[in-house]
Structure 1
């Protein structure tokens, strides 16, 4: 069973995403209790580390919802400032949490791309190198600007093939994540 590359299509992120945006450019005042607001510093391999995140008021959170700075289920989040592309993950379920502008939000068009497949293609070292070589700006704080994310070209297979590849890779990732959780539990 070989791979038929003739069915693969060159496309841009803009063509396969309904929306490419980022989190809030306004950083609300921190509170003792409230809703989590994450920056790129709070990202890890599979999601957010809640231990050090900022908490914001309900009013500020509602502003974040209005400004589309609250990721939705199937959104792909990408570190875009500083440690750009270091962490890329899928929002598996929507939660009441907002993000700051150091995080890009890709809302995939699920009729064109399997969201978890998009995560894996963006995590691919070859893709990361192409992005790094062509779209990163700034020397003190390297970053990728949103308009450049839209231009990134990807070679993608038909949706049915994406789903097969994503299923295989996510099964392995789930096992790794479970092993990490077990190791953390045993170490504590």
Structure 2
């Protein structure tokens, strides 16, 4: 790991196991002696968590796609300023459950052809990409089943159904090709322990 820290994001459809795997990676890296910050999006800072409550609860059509892009970008900016960048500047490893790639997919593609808008706002207000993005890939139907079985209140995007899940899987795999320098695709259909092994191996390969 360099003195400037190392930024890892996790992406994937709902129910792909990102939250479990972020925690397992954090434990593994801490065991290896690294100082690790685990965070999430939307959220990860007080202001961003307030915005999270606005965008993840309520009816699926509560916000337009354009409004969602602005809300997520505002949350990400606060998260970057207050959590991510200070940790990187201190030489820590930052593990984030979702980052800008989720916005590129959910708001930029699934809810209108707004990818260019997402990218322009990202370049203007964020300007940071992860050093490594781990995409946990799995069957859309299985992912949705897992997500709905959690009985969480933040089901607004899960309520869009399997069609959205399938579109997201396709979109994430497309992003993995577009940004092949930082993406690693992990087979999420494996047992949890094997997924964790593949993730740790990919992380160690990139960080040395």
TM-score by length of 1: 0.29
Q: Which has the higher contact order (CA 8 A, sep 6+)?
A: 2
Q: Give the helix-richer structure, 1 or 2.
A: 2
TM-score by length of 2: 0.27
